[in-house]
Amino acid sequence: MKLIMFDMDGTLINSGSMIANTINYVRENLGFELLEKSFILEKVNDPNISSSEFFYGTKHFTEEQGKLFETYYYKHCLTDLEIYDGIKELLEDLKSDYIFTVATNANSEFANRMLNHLELGSYFKTIVGYNDVLKPKPHPEMVYKILEEINTTKEKSLLVGDSHKDIQAANSAGIDSILVNWGFSNHEENAIETIKELEDKIYKKFN
C-alpha cells in the first residue's frame, strides 16, 4: 500500500493571505502592530522559532489568543483560497496507485472544510491536524498516527511539504520526504520548483 502524505497550506493550497490576516487580527486585538504577509509566512514555517512567542509574546498560546484566532479563521477560512496549479491533475493521475492523506498543522475540522470547498477533500483517506495529536510538526507524531491508521510501512510512505517542519517530521519518523518551493518559504536548496518534478520524484521513489 503506497502512501503519500501531503502538508496542506503552501503545498496543496495557497491560503497565505488568510493565514497572515488571521495572525494580524490576533496581533491587532492584543495591541501589537501589523506585520507584512511575506514576513509572517516565512516565520510560520520556521521550525526554529516558537510561533506563540514570536507573534504574540507568550511562551505558550493562551486561551484568548486561541479564541481570537479561531473566531477569525472560522469566518474567513474559505476566502482567498486557491489550489496550486497542477495539484488536482497530479492527484487525479496518481489516485489509482496511491493512498493520499493530509498532515497539517491546521485544525483538521477547518482543513476538511477548506479542502471540500476546493473539491479536493474526496482524494484524501484521512486528514490529521494539530488538534488530533499532542505535538504538531516538526514532531513526528502526525506521521506515526497516519502510518498506524493506513497500516502501511515506512518504506512505502512519503511526505510532501513546503516547510522544514514537514521534512523534520518525516526524518524523525524515518520516512522519505520531498520539499516543494511553491509554498510560503523560499528555499535555496534541496527543494523542487514544479509539479512535474514532484511527479518524477514520486515515480522514482516508488518504482
pLDDT digits (tens, 9 = 90+) for 66-114: 999 999 999 999 998 999 999 999 999 999 999 999 999 999 999 999 9
Collapse the DSSP code of 6 into the 3-class scheme (helix H, G, I; strand E, B; otherwise coil) and give the result: strand
- Phi then psi for 103, rounded to 5 degrees? -120, 105
Q: What is the pLDDT of residues 15-64, one digit of tens each?
A: 999 999 999 999 999 999 999 999 999 999 899 999 999 999 999 999 99
CA dihedral 100, 105, 106, 111 (to 10 degrees): 0
* Spatial CB neighbours of 178, under 8 Å, sequence gap ≥ 6: 158, 159, 160, 161, 192, 198, 201, 202
pTM given for the model: 0.95
Instruction: Yes or no: say if 140 and 177 are a contact pair by the CB < 8 Å rule.
Output: no
Q: Positive or negative, the Cα torsion across 4, 170, 8, 145?
A: positive
pLDDT mean over 6-18: 97
